[in-house]
């Protein structure tokens, strides 16, 4: 074997070795190298076809080699038959291995579920359903399920009193039943020892506090006035006077856009109409803010029995101890309304 032949073998060996090394590097980089150019959220339902998911993922991959690597590794892990519903994040810099395993193992990214303003259970179910996989009909059915309500401690009461406005991390696929159980735990945590201790002063139950807080919240968004308004209503409750809260009339009628309450509205027959019925309505008329709940627990002691919006329309109120004082305040407010219409 002459030197020239050996030299050729050596050169070819180097060439083949370099080729194999390059192929290994490319293959390794295709699987383990950064594959996602920018973060993307992907939602997978029970009806999502694998091809639909694959197309969404591959559209975010940085080059054709990464696309090929995704197809090969997805086939190896049988992703088509292992795909799980959920909310997933294709994070910037994620590699193909992590992407495929994430979907195959159902490694979801939690969503921030915002519990905010809502006046009725159907409205609440509608707003929550836009943030998780369950639809509003299924959610509402769970909220009205008597057996489920009983296990949560709300046999005859409205479940809307259980919801505390906040942002909660949950999985997008959470079932309505698990969601309600989670909200019960959050409600129990909210009613800590300090808040529970304040119930004695109000002489109200937690449910009644939530109901009164919902009225206070609908009366004003001014945090500074909330404790004073709460104190007025507690004074009326203790004297056996009807609350005569206009927001309860709007709730009873079902017209939350009413700007003026007329005498015909006050006569509307409903257990929620606090002009016709003494005491608190049978359920909260909205989800009150935490500030409104704490305002009831920390209500301001006074001799006030009435309040009326100020004629300056600045969102605050004039308070009165007697009906004659209140009538004078109301007269000034109504005169200001008439001038405003002109």
CA angle 223, 226, 232 (to 5 degrees): 165
Digit-coded pLDDT (tens) for 71-122: 999 999 999 999 999 999 998 888 999 999 999 999 999 999 999 989 999 9
- Contacts for 227 with CB less than 8 Å, ≥ 6 apart: 295, 298, 299, 300
Token pair for residue 41? Answer: 């959220």
Digit-coded pLDDT (tens) for 278-300: 999 999 999 999 999 999 999 99
Please name each of the domains of the chain with its CATH number: 28-105 (3.30.1490), 111-190 (no CATH), 201-302 (no CATH)
Quick one: DSSP state of residue 132?
Answer: S
What pLDDT does residue 35 have?
64
């Amino acid at each position: 074997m002459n030197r020239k032949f050996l030299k050729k073998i050596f050169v070819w060996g180097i060439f083949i070795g370099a080729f194999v090394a390059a192929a290994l590097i490319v293959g390794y980089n295709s699987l383990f190298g950064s594959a996602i150019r920018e973060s993307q959220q992907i939602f997978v339902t029970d009806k999502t076809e694998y091809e639909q998911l694959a197309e969404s993922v591959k559209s975010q991959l940085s080059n054709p080699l990464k696309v090929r690597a995704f197809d090969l590794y997805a086939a190896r892990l049988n992703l088509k038959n292992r795909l799980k519903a959920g909310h997933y994040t294709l994070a910037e810099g994620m590699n193909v291995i992590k992407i495929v395993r994430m979907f195959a193992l159902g490694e979801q990214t939690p969503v921030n579920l915002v519990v905010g303003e809502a006046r009725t259970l159907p409205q609440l179910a509608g707003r929550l359903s836009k943030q998780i996989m369950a639809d509003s009909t299924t959610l509402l059915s769970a909220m009205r399920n008597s057996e489920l309500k009983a296990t949560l401690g709300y046999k005859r009461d409205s479940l809307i009193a259980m919801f505390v406005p906040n942002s909660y991390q949950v999985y997008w696929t959470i079932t309505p039943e698990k969601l309600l159980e989670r909200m019960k735990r959050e409600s129990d945590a909210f009613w800590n020892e300090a808040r529970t201790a304040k119930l004695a002063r109000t002489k109200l139950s937690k449910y009644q506090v939530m109901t009164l807080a919902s009225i206070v919240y609908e009366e004003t968004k001014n945090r500074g006035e909330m404790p004073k308004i709460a104190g007025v209503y507690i004074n009326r409750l203790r004297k056996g006077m009807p609350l005569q809260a206009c927001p309860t009339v709007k709730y009873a009628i079902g017209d939350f856009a009413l700007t003026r309450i007329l005498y015909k509205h006050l006569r509307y027959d409903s257990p929620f109409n606090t002009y016709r019925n003494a005491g608190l309505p049978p359920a909260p008329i909205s989800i009150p803010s935490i500030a409104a709940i704490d305002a009831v627990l920390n209500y301001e002691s006074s001799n006030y029995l009435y309040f009326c919006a100020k004629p300056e329309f600045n969102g605050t109120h004039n308070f009165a101890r007697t009906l004659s004082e209140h009538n004078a305040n109301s007269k000034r407010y109504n005169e200001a309304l008439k001038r405003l219409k002109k």
